Structure 1
Amino acid sequence: MANRLSVVEATANSNSVIFDVLPFAKQYKMGVIQLNRPESLNSLTLPMIQAIYSQLEEWAMDQTVVAIWLEGAGAKAFCAGGNVVDVYRSLEKERDTSYCEQFFREEYALDYLLHRFSKPVICWGSGYVMGGGMGLMMASNYRIVTEKSRLSMPEISIGLYPDVGASYFLNQLDDDAVARFLALTAYQVNATDACEIGLATHYLMEQDCAELKQRLMMAQMTDLNPEKVTLIIEQALFTLSQSDDLPLLKPELTALSPTVVSLMTGDIHNIYASMLSYSPECPAMIKAKNTFLTGSPLSAHIIVQQLEWAKHQTLESVFARELELSVSCCKQGDFSEGVRALLVDKDKRPKWLYGRVSDVLEEKVQILLGNKKLIDVMDAEG
């Protein structure tokens, strides 16, 4: 890419995020953000988050920059999430939540900035898009998937819940059952399903990335006009998305819609019973069932209640509550044990606070959700 900008990243690995500018409609510019940690599937570190936020603020003030492009380095992932191992290690070392709170606060601030950004944001979401990567993608105006895309929210496996604004954007889907299912099972959504249910806006071939950039670079726009910028982007996306060469990916999740609705009906106890008795046949649903049943029972309770609470809430209020909830999960939930088992020791044998969904104390759930004081639970536990 041309015109590489300097990157300010205190304590970060060199070039873990790279900023460029490309021409847009010849005489204007498109700011390019490349997450550049392919060895870790471009997971977001705090210095990366800080650097991206700072650069976006600068580009917001630059009238010659008319659009933003987000991408990940390497062929495997756009972004597999936030670097929660750093958060885990800070909790183990410091025994307080100061770094944890800073990480989530600044990650959510970046997501919110993108949601409200004054210029169109294009996300090239090829490969794995998970957790924090979904936060970036879903905050973008144009969410592009390819034949290699796999979108998921896997937080139940680390004792967390779908955050990064997911309490908001999952509730924007047409089907509540699908929102619950994605949040509880970490189901990996392919490109066809992602477009069908509203997680993605366009399906292109992976090889079309360079062609799309070229079309944006070579478009015509004599005067600065936000509506013309939008038209240029949408025309380029429309043209490429109509290609006869696009692989026909079979819809999987949408084809199972009646099953998903049946599984996700009722409260978390009903859902648990339905999933326990469910006998899936396809590999994706077998994996989804296993992820739910082996995930944090406490997280399962939180997920259902958090999604219900977030209906009709503003984006601002969702992020505010998610910050409090995420810190609470780190302080007195299953987060540390989940990260240890899955990402640190990798034994995949977490010792959750509760063995089963039916064992979880409702008072504990309400404390983590901020609805009840700790003393009440201590009294209830006797």
Structure 2
Amino acid sequence: MPHSVEFLSLPFASHFKLGCIRLNSARTLNALSLEMIEAIFQQLHAWQEDPYVVAVLIEGDGNKGFCAGGNVVDVYRSIAEQNDHGAFSLQYFGREYQLDQLIHEYRKPVICWGHGYVMGGGMGLFMAARYRLVMPSTRLAMPEIKIGLYPDVGASYFLNKLPEHIARFLALTAYQVNATDACELGLATHYLCDEAYSELLDQLAAGILEDNSHEHVAQHIERVLHGFTMSDDLPLLKPELISHEKEIKKVMSGDIVNIHHSLKSFEVDSQSLMSARENFLKGSPLSACLILEQLNWGKGKQLAAVFERETVLSVNVSVHGDFCEGVRALLVDKDQKPVWQHSTVLEVSKESLASYFNPAPTVTELRSCQPN
């Protein structure tokens, strides 16, 4: 893992420091490997105890995106080729969710520069940050239905902060949210120009803080960000989700069978919304059922409980669900022809669905062997 993640110390308000985490694997759209996750986790713990590092910036290398997700091919190979019965899957997903939770609960302000593609595991990092910056290039998405998984990395927590029909639509269709919609929905906190990156760092470095208190650090960050969001040069994108909210609400009502029937006949004057419809219809029927079940369960749940349940679900789905077939078809063989376990959501029984939420004896044994 040479240099797949870099750690920098940048100037912040005179003599303080901004810790910078740079995902540095542009070739893979900065997909998160277990080694990257472990390195970031350890560095964040070190910075949390450093009085001179008063805030953290997370960014991704390359012009295509911040992070297109987790390195799920490694999980696939551990199951399909090494037949490890989910040992690596538990290690990978467990540590990824621990990292996401650490960022959610971090004692210092975390800023995430969400340019380009921010998907899957990238959304886990992005949504955990206090300041979530988007720009015209940004496309936020949870595309797990396409690989037989489900929106994880805390999505059962943060998607449930959205209106129910929007949360369902994003989770079931892999729809890519633009910057305007992201801000309107609260997925993002600030809208900047893509070209503002260097100036942002310069302005964060300028000025003087009286002390390193969380309040004063946050005030400085917010003053700087406010200036960028008020720029006359900021190109505003047309909101799409908001403008089609009535139609989306209609097709996302009821249970998964109702949603399936509604999406089959869904027609709007938007290519991206129609592409989202196709993602659902071609995606894993098992995943669709799991997604709705998990979203319904997650309403009102605390973050720790969400990650606990997601860990169990992710291991079960990766070992026994459509995950391996989805990753094979989309990312390994790339034939784009997954053979799902069920041809339609109507075939997924309630008993089968429930089994994915129960820790199997194998998973329970594996978890007992994992380090804290």
Range into which the TM-score falls when normalised by the shorter chain: over 0.9
Aligned residues of 1:32 and 1:68 also touching (Cα < 8 A): yes
Can you give the 5+ residue segments of structure 2 that lack an aligned partner in the other structure? 362-372
Cα distance in 2, alignment partners of residues 93 and 350 from structure 1: 18
Counterpart of 2:109 in structure 1 is 120
Counterpart of 1:21 in structure 2 is 9
Counterpart of 1:58 in structure 2 is 46
SS at match of 1:193: helix
Letter in 2 for 1:72: G
Cα distance in 1, alignment partners of residues 167 and 78 from structure 2: 31
Counterpart of 2:232 in structure 1 is 244
SS at match of 2:81: helix
Aligned residues of 2:312 and 2:359 also touching (Cα < 8 A): no
Letter in 1 for 2:166: V
Kindly report which structure 2 residues correspond to 1:1-382, keeping only aligned pairs within 5 A, or say none: 12=1, 14-95=2-83, 96-173=85-162, 175-370=163-358
- Between the aligned residues of both structures, percent identity stands at 52
Aligned residues of 2:134 and 2:191 also touching (Cα < 8 A): yes
Cα distance in 2, alignment partners of residues 278 and 112 from structure 1: 37
Shift of the alpha carbon at 1:170? 0.3
Shift of the alpha carbon at 1:363? 1.1
Cα distance in 2, alignment partners of residues 65 and 350 from structure 1: 47
Letter in 2 for 1:35: L
Counterpart of 2:366 in structure 1 is none
Aligned residues of 1:363 and 1:372 also touching (Cα < 8 A): no
1:371/1:19 CA distance change after superposition, 3 Å: closer
Letter in 1 for 2:82: E
Letter in 1 for 2:320: Q
TM, length-normalised to structure 1: 0.93
Cα distance in 2, alignment partners of residues 344 and 58 from structure 1: 36
Cα distance in 2, alignment partners of residues 111 and 178 from structure 1: 23
Cα distance in 2, alignment partners of residues 60 and 34 from structure 1: 17
Shift of the alpha carbon at 1:372? 10
Cα distance in 2, alignment partners of residues 372 and 358 from structure 1: 25
TM, length-normalised to structure 2: 0.95
Aligned residues of 1:366 and 1:372 also touching (Cα < 8 A): no
Cα distance in 1, alignment partners of residues 253 and 98 from structure 2: 33
Paired residues, number: 361
Letter in 2 for 1:78: F
Shift of the alpha carbon at 1:361? 1.6
Can you give the 5+ residue segments of structure 1 that lack an aligned partner in the other structure? 1-11, 374-382
Bigger RCO of structures 1 and 2 (CA < 8 A, at least 6 apart)? 2
Cα distance in 2, alignment partners of residues 109 and 187 from structure 1: 26
Aligned residues of 1:157 and 1:296 also touching (Cα < 8 A): yes
Question: Deviations along 1:154-196, whole A, 9 cap, x unmatched?
Answer: 00001000000000000112x1100000000000000000000
SS at match of 1:94: coil
Cα distance in 1, alignment partners of residues 281 and 357 from structure 2: 22
Aligned residues of 2:144 and 2:150 also touching (Cα < 8 A): yes
Aligned residues of 1:101 and 1:323 also touching (Cα < 8 A): yes
Aligned residues of 2:59 and 2:113 also touching (Cα < 8 A): yes
1:268/1:371 CA distance change after superposition, 3 Å: farther
Cα distance in 1, alignment partners of residues 12 and 252 from structure 2: 45
Shift of the alpha carbon at 1:359? 1.4
SS at match of 2:261: helix
Cα distance in 2, alignment partners of residues 34 and 338 from structure 1: 29
